[in-house]
Amino acid sequence: MTQADNFYPNINLQTLNVIKNLTRLVAYIDISWNSCLDSSGRPEPWMSANNRIVSIVDDDLATTNLFHEALSENIDSVNVVSFTDPVIALEHFSDNKDAYALVIADLRMPGLNGLELLKKVKTSNPNVRTILMSAYNFEEDILFLKYMEEGIIDSTIEKPVTMNRLYQRVREELDVN
């Protein structure tokens, strides 16, 4: 008898898998919904016809929160979403790829690094602009150089970054679209 049998003695394995998938869906919705709340916990105006999605992906929660708030308050006509998990960020992108304008990703993240994430983004929608950010010197990384040459990475930001530099870079990338 498994642990699941103790909790669900009259449920077959197929039904149990549905329950597990629904649990993952609820967790995903909760994470996605939290990225749609303003600093006071109220829903942001979401997806008006003129707004495009700008996504911040960094495994450091303080960075994503800071960038989310700063861009939401200082860049017009965008909906900012932020993720600390690059896999969930990619799922959100896949579900909304036509609404995305820009993805900002940290280089070093567990599970899916920034280079891999941005390659998947550009493969799925080449019109999305991408920014790779890092505190590390990636200018000598062969894969980074290849992705820059192929247009997978549109620009970079070195950490630590000033808010004015972040705004400038984001506006530059949004103006390309």
Are 28 and 92 members of one domain?
A: no
pLDDT, averaged per 10 consecutive residues of the chain (177 residues), comes to 45 52 45 48 46 94 95 94 96 95 95 94 96 84 86 92 95 87
Are 50 and 30 members of one domain?
A: no
Q: Is residue 66 part of a domain?
A: yes
Q: Is residue 163 part of a domain?
A: yes
Q: What is the CATH number of the domain that holds 86?
A: 3.40.50.2300
Are 18 and 81 members of one domain?
A: no
Residue 72: which residues within 8 A CB-CB, separation 6 or more? 38, 44, 80
Lookup: tokens for 11: 């449920």
Distance CA 11, CA 23 (A): 16
- What confidence score (pLDDT) does residue 15 get? 54
pLDDT, one tens digit per residue, over 20-31 is: 554 444 444 444
Q: Is residue 39 part of a domain?
A: no
Q: Is residue 23 part of a domain?
A: yes
Which domain, by its residues, includes 56? 45-176
Please state the pTM of the whole predicted model: 0.72
Distance CA 106, CA 157 (A): 9
- What confidence score (pLDDT) does residue 50 get? 56
Are 118 and 63 members of one domain?
A: yes
- What confidence score (pLDDT) does residue 106 get? 95
